[in-house]
Amino acid sequence: MQIGPYTFPSPTLALAPMAGVTDRPFRVLCKRLGADMAATEMTTSDPSLWRTKKSVLRREHAGEPSPIIVQIAGYDPAMMAEAARFNVDEGAQIIDINMGCPAKKVCHVLAGSALLKDEALVGRILEAVVRAVPVPVTLKTRTGWNPEQRNGVRIARIAEAAGIAALAVHGRTRCDFYEGAAEYDTIAEIRAAIRIPLLANGDIADSAQARAVLKHTGADGVMLGRAAQGKPWIFRELRAALRGEAVEVPDAASQREILVEHLQALYAFYGEAHGVRVARKHIGWYLKAHPALAEVRERVNAATDAKNQMAAVASC
């Protein structure tokens, strides 16, 4: 799969941008364990917020393997264009536009998936951002606003006409949020309607589902979100399975080593106090597959410093 000057393996395996999850430590870890692409958490196009601590951390990508993909969100074409220029000046190599987030606080300001209700505005935003920067621009979207308004094919055509370099589509509408099962028929229709690279997203949690989705949609790759939480090695497993190679599932000791690596990166990135708090949810996801370790999770949540949190993990 080709996006501007960047070539990715086929099929491409991408980590979905997730607010509060895909910070630099998690992106770097997933890339090391097989993810071909990983974008930052959604960052705002509002320049008054670019220098807040939260925004600065979300855009932090020093030392991250190329390509650096920064996702921006907003509703104003001029602000989105300026945000794209700002992030390219700070090292972004690909700009990704968010038109898929279903969160109420995002849709309330007519950003994220709320934009799918205004196709003309979608076109103006995409054209403005593509014109503003010399790097490839990609788009993350959904199949429509609601099941009665699945305009994903029209949005995809608008994106291609605007110069978008690649498209990722979550197989749900905004009103579906993350409920029910993702549907892939619309993604297949989008594949038939456009020539730019396409990633399929939604409910892909194992190699069997990935293979089925790729076959059904004709997509160039898959994008995983929740399936990677607590299981960043899933990309390595999928790559082997899709190539017909033996899949090596890390044993408990190897999983613990990966978790420790993740925790150390979180402490270094956020500082100990904040890192311990951020780590709790990640440890919870790692332990979710091991219900017998509920007592360990209680100790993790009670820990207020890195030493005790690490001690709890070491007891797994």
> Residue 107 catalytic?
no
Give residue for tokens 């730019």: 196
Dump the DSSP string for 103-172: -HHHHTTT-GGGGGG-HHHHHHHHHHHHHH-SS-EEEEEES-SSTT---HHHHHHHHHHHT--EEEEESS
Token pair listed for 11: 């099929």
Q: Which helix (H) or strand (E) holds 308?
A: helix 306-314
**Separation in Å, CA 219 to CA 26, 117, 166, 177:** 25, 25, 11, 22
**Distance of alpha carbon 313 from alpha carbon 302, whole angstroms:** 12
* Strand, helix or coil for residue 82: helix
**C-beta neighbour count of 1 within 10 angstroms:** 20
The single residue of 30, 101, 107, 316 carrying the catalytic annotation is 101
Q: How large is the greatest C-alpha to C-alpha distance in the chain, in angstroms?
A: 56
Query: Which are the catalytic amino acids?
Result: 101
